[in-house]
Chains A and B, each alone.
Chain A
Amino acid sequence: NAGVMQNPRHLVRRRGQEARLRCSPMKGHSHVYWYRQLPEEGLKFMVYLQKENIIDESGMPKERFSAEFPKEGPSILRIQQVVRGDSAAYFCASSPAGAANYGYTFGSGTRLTVV
């Protein structure tokens, strides 16, 4: 079991470009969560998805950010027209259904740097 796979590990984008972050959940996990970690901060919840559905996007900025978890393939977090303030580590976690009581498995993250 390869665990939660995120790629790329590091991503550098110029201001105004688009950033695409990918997350493949653990085998058998149908729930995906995205968190953002700013420097010297704890993780902040962004969005919770199940296959083909966004369950809760309350932590995601209304503009420029979108997320999807298609029937086939990884979950994608897309940031359009990136700005310097988007520089952060983005972590994905996955779980089977009803795993809130057991803890989450996180990927190693994508470190986005906007220059």
Chain B
Amino acid sequence: SQQGEEDPQALSIQEGENATMNCSYKTSINNLQWYRQNSGRGLVHLILIRSNEREKHSGRLRVTLDTSKKSSSLLITASRAADTASYFCATDSAGGSNYKLTFGKGTLLTVNP
């Protein structure tokens, strides 16, 4: 089964607006992580939330985790053109190898100036 499905697949907003991306997964996890990938570049780690946490903040980023629904959301507030990128959630598997991450296909965020 596929872990880490993001939605929407693509999101286009104006600078200054908030962007919300969602991630659903199928099996129990230890941690869920969000990464950003600029076009043609590597992945940058944004934030990690543990299974016993419900919400986490880092600058303009807010991540929530609902383990009962097996879902997470990433909120970027006051977006900037530089936030344009693909965003991926990645999960490990509780009881499995926590170093092995499963990534979704990502949400392509476009922030228009």
Residues of A within 8 A of B (CB): 4, 6, 31, 33, 35, 40-45, 48, 56, 58-59, 91, 93, 95, 100-109, 111
- Total A-B contacts with CB atoms under 8 angstroms apart: 65
Given known A-B contacts A42-B4, A44-B103, A100 and B98 have beta carbons under 8 A apart: yes
**Interchain Cβ contacts under 8 Å between A and B, 26 examples:** A6-B42, A31-B99, A33-B99, A40-B105, A41-B105, A42-B104, A42-B105, A43-B43, A43-B88, A43-B103, A48-B99, A58-B100, A59-B100, A91-B42, A91-B43, A100-B92, A102-B48, A103-B45, A103-B47, A104-B45, A106-B35, A106-B44, A106-B45, A108-B41, A109-B42, A111-B40
Q: Per a CB cutoff under 8 Å, which of A4, A45, A105 touches B101?
A: A45
Given known A-B contacts A56-B97, A100-B92, A101-B50, A45 and B102 have beta carbons under 8 A apart: yes
Asked if residues B98 and A42 are in contact (CB atoms below 8 Å), the reply is no
B31 within 8 A of A: yes
Measured CB to CB, the closest approach of chain B to A36, in angstroms, equals: 11
Asked if residues B100 and A45 are in contact (CB atoms below 8 Å), the reply is yes
Cα(A40)–Cα(B86), bound, Å: 11
Cα(A105)–Cα(B101), bound, Å: 13
Number of interface residues of B (CB under 8 A): 27
Cα(A95)–Cα(B50), bound, Å: 18
- Determine the residue in chain B with the shortest Cβ distance to A58: B100
CB within 8 Å of A: which of B21-61? 30-31, 33, 35, 40-45, 47-48, 50
Measured CB to CB, the closest approach of chain B to A29, in angstroms, equals: 13
B64-89 interface mask toward A, CB cutoff 8 Å, 1 = contact, 0 = none? Answer: 00000000000000000000000010
Cα(A33)–Cα(B97), bound, Å: 13
Contacts of B103 in A (CB 8 A): 35, 42-44
Cα(A42)–Cα(B90), bound, Å: 9
Asked if residues B42 and A108 are in contact (CB atoms below 8 Å), the reply is yes
Contacts of B104 in A (CB 8 A): 42
Asked if residues B42 and A56 are in contact (CB atoms below 8 Å), the reply is no
- Determine the residue in chain B with the shortest Cβ distance to A100: B98
Cα(A109)–Cα(B44), bound, Å: 12
